[in-house]
Structure 1
Amino acid sequence: MTTLPDFTPPDGPLAVATAVPATAVAAAAAAAANAAPGVPSRAGTLEALAVSAWFGSRKVLEQVSLTMPAGRVTALIGPSGCGKSTFLRTLNRMHELIPGASLAGEVLLDGTDVYDPARRLTDARRDIGMVFQKPNPFPAMSIYDNVLAGLKLTGTRAGRAEKDQLVEECLTKAGLWREVADRLRQPGGALSGGQQQRLCIARSLAIRPRVLLMDEPCSALDPTSTRRIEQTIRELAHEVTIVIVTHNMQQAARVSDSCAFFLAEHGTPGAIVEHGPTAAMFGHPADPRTADYVNGRFG
């Protein structure tokens, strides 16, 4: 077991799962198939092998193994407190930021151990970026400088013309360029909540990640902003691997190619009950607990 640098993460809001019409699942599956015709070399395959995690002496994840394919969107679903967000944090070594935390198992990015002692932490964070539940732009920093903030943290040098091009490219990919192109020097904190979240996505993209982790990125947003973020996810899916935690079953059906259903029963650590293509998980799941959850019989 690897000891990391006792804290229990706050539970997110307990969302009630609701039934997803079969037509919506079929449409989402068709859109997913059309959205990712090829996988660029930058996107990486992420593999978790028998990952277990603890906060102090409390075990919160039990032997989780999951492959998250390159250039695809994998959704992690399940009730609050079942370990989804903890699992997400193990994928780019954020779990080790929590005092008293520890883990066992392996996380591989295209076969390379993310936790290899010889691998620099900044390299792992550059390859595997993260967007959090609550938008967290630097409020006093301009929109322009927010996008480029990760370059300093990773020691990446760039000239002015290159920076200008990168800002436009990343804001365009995040679906924000047309809304802010004429006010790049204004504070990022002055944007709306949905715009701030897209700014955070642009900031993550600026360091050229191979995987992008998203922890309930739409939970604090209105329906219009949520729809725009989902559109951004689908547009990005062909060039970067995306892993998203969501309590919204319709969202999982709309944006993901595959799903993993987590559950922690009777005080046991969280584990994966079932995983597979999204259409199969929602249309004809193999485990009755999965069927109960995706159809809103508990949540």
Structure 2
Amino acid sequence: MLAGLETREVSAWFGARKVLERVSLAMPAGEVTALIGPSGCGKSTYLRILNRMHEMVRGAALSGEVLLDGDDVYRPGRRPAEVRRRIGMVFQRPNPFPAMSIKDNVASGLKLAGIKVTRDEREHLVETSLRQAGLWDEVAGRLEAPGGSLSGGQQQRLCIARSLAVSPDILLMDEPCSALDPTSTRRVEETIAELRGQLTIVIVTHNMQQAQRVSQTCAFFLATHDTPGRIVEHGPTEQVFHHPRDQRTSDYVNGRFG
């Protein structure tokens, strides 16, 4: 059964500075939710709150609930490592272990998550994860090559495969194509489309065309110089882009500010 993710009244601070204000959002199971909005409006902070990476920053604090299948990931006694296994993260820039082989890069996710498998299970997971990430056909004959020998787009898909190896319920993606060329971007988007229905994906993107191509649900964040980030509007992607309820949403998606 696919897992859904929801936040209720989430606010966040870095020291005394409030960066998010009472964000409530449901991210439907098995769908892609895009988070859009100008730089500095709290999208990436919100994404990191979802798998408890926000609390790793000195002086960071938050309030509210983050519910994974109805269970708060911040409840007392819940282990952050277990949360991060179920809610994986792909970062803006590819971050494979450059000297480690392609195969070991994928399998490193298992070790980091403390998942013990047999040699045969490990081999199967490596292949399955690389296939899911759309990379298998390109690297099957050179699995012992260093991860750093791959192109930027391939390295990003390798990082996706590493995240998938631990069988997460949710995959968070923080501008995963911002450092990639158009061809690599297309391949990552194809991977996202193929993963839809297998797990729940939340992606931060500044590319409005990409948000429309890959997502089914969209949330528009906005902040001003004296107010923290908050959601102005959210709903089906088609509605947010073509029939927005708020004029600020219309202005942003049509390139009139931001």
- Equivalent positions of 1:175-190 (< 5 A) are 175-190=134-149
In the alignment, the residues of structure 2 paired with residue 289 and residue 195 of structure 1 have an alpha-carbon distance, to the nearest angstrom, of: 37
Distance 2:87 2:3 in 1: 9
Separation of aligned partners in 2, 1:267 and 1:131: 31
Give 1:173's aligned residue.
132
The correspondence for 1:197, drawn from 156, 161, 167, is 156
- The 5-angstrom pairing of residues 68-147 of structure 1 reads 68-147=27-106
CA RMSD of aligned residues (A): 0.6
Cα deviation 1:108-161 (Å, max 9, x = unaligned): 000011011211111100110000000000111100000011111221111111
Cα deviation, 1:43-73, whole Å, max 9, x if unaligned, reads 3110100000000000000000000010000
Q: Look up the SS of the partner of 2:142 in the other structure.
A: coil
Name the counterpart of 1:276: 235
Match of 1:294 among 241, 253, 256: 253
Aligned partners of 1:197, 1:271: CA distance in 2, in Å?
29
After TM superposition, what 4+ stretches of structure 1 lie above 4 angstroms from structure 2?
Answer: none
The answer for the alignment partner of 1:152 in structure 2 is: 111
Tell me the number of residue pairs that the alignment of Structure 1 and Structure 2 aligns: 258
SS in structure 2 of the partner of residue 182 of structure 1 = helix
SS at match of 2:141: coil
3-state SS of paired residue (2:13)? strand
State the alpha-carbon separation in 2 of the partners of residues 128 and 266 from structure 1: 32
Amino acid in the other structure paired with 2:163 = S
Q: Which residue of 1 aligns with 2:208?
A: 249
Q: Structure 2: give runs of 5+ residues left out of the alignment.
A: none
- From 105, 111, 122, give the equivalent of 1:163: 122
Deviations 1:92-120 (A, max 9, x none): 00001100000000000000110112111
Name the SS for the 1:163 alignment partner.
helix
CA distance in 2, matches of 1:126, 1:116: 16
Matched, 1:58 2:17: yes
> What's the offset of the Cα at 1:167?
0.6
What TM-score results when the alignment is normalised by the length of structure 1?
Answer: 0.86
Q: Which has the higher contact order (CA 8 A, sep 6+)?
A: 1
Report the equivalent of 1:34.
none
Match of 1:231 among 156, 165, 190: 190
Distance across 1 between alignment mates of 2:228 and 2:4: 26
Please state whether the residue corresponding to 2:76 is helix, strand or coil: coil
> How far apart, CA to CA, are the structure 2 residues paired with 1:159 and 1:127?
21
Return the TM-score normalized by structure 2: 0.99
1:266 shift after superposition: 3.2
1:201-242 Cα offsets, whole Å, 9 max, x none, are 000000000000000000000000000000000100111100
Q: In the aligned structure 1, how far is the partner of 2:226 from the partner of 2:97?
A: 38
Residue in structure 1 matched with residue 199 of structure 2 by the alignment: 240
| Unaligned runs of at least 5 residues, structure 1 | 1-40
Q: Distance in 2 between matches of 1:89 and 1:265?
A: 21
Separation in 2, partners of 1:70, 1:133: 23
Q: Which has the higher strand share?
A: 2
- Letter of the structure 2 residue corresponding to residue 94 of structure 1: M
TM alignment of 1:33-52, pairs within 5 A: 41=1, 43-52=2-11
